Structures are given as C-alpha cells and as structure tokens.
Amino acid sequence: MPLSPGQIEALGNLARKSAGEDVGWINISHARALTELGLAERNAGGWRITPAGLAAWKAGGAPTPPQQPLTEIFPR
C-alpha cells in the first residue's frame, strides 16, 4: 500500500528535522503509520526518521509492503 499524502509529508518533515531544519508539528497518526512501516521511530526526543525512512524519502517514496526492499518505490 503506498503512503498517503499526509504520510509522505510527515516523512519529509522527519527528513528535514534530521537534517537540523525547523519543521512544524508531525501528525501523530501519520507518524505511527510510518513507525509500523519501519520508516520512523519514537524515542525520548520525539519522532525521528529511520535509515529506511531516509532512504525511502531520498528515493521518492516508500516500499509496499514494508518487508520488501526499497527497490520498489512509489512516487511522491
């Protein structure tokens, strides 16, 4: 299942956050969905993008389903 527009936006916000940029609020339901896909995680500092999430963002999408490699990419 491809990411929703809101999930893609949240993934982008997390990618920009990891690069040190200021970002707005991350929608919790979108962040939880990204966590289930292995693209984000929650820690004491809040939500953060995983290496798989960053690779998916750089490649322009995310895998479907999450256990597949990032060779199957969906456009943003």
pLDDT in tens, 9-49: 999 999 999 888 888 888 999 999 999 999 999 999 889 99
Burial of 41 (0-12, 13-18, 19+ CB in 10 A): middle
For the entire predicted model, the pTM comes to: 0.73
Indicate whether 71 pLDDT > 70: no
> Residue 61: what pLDDT?
61
Hey, what's the torsion of the CAs at 20, 76, 40, 54, to 10 degrees? Answer: -50
Indicate whether 8 pLDDT > 70: yes
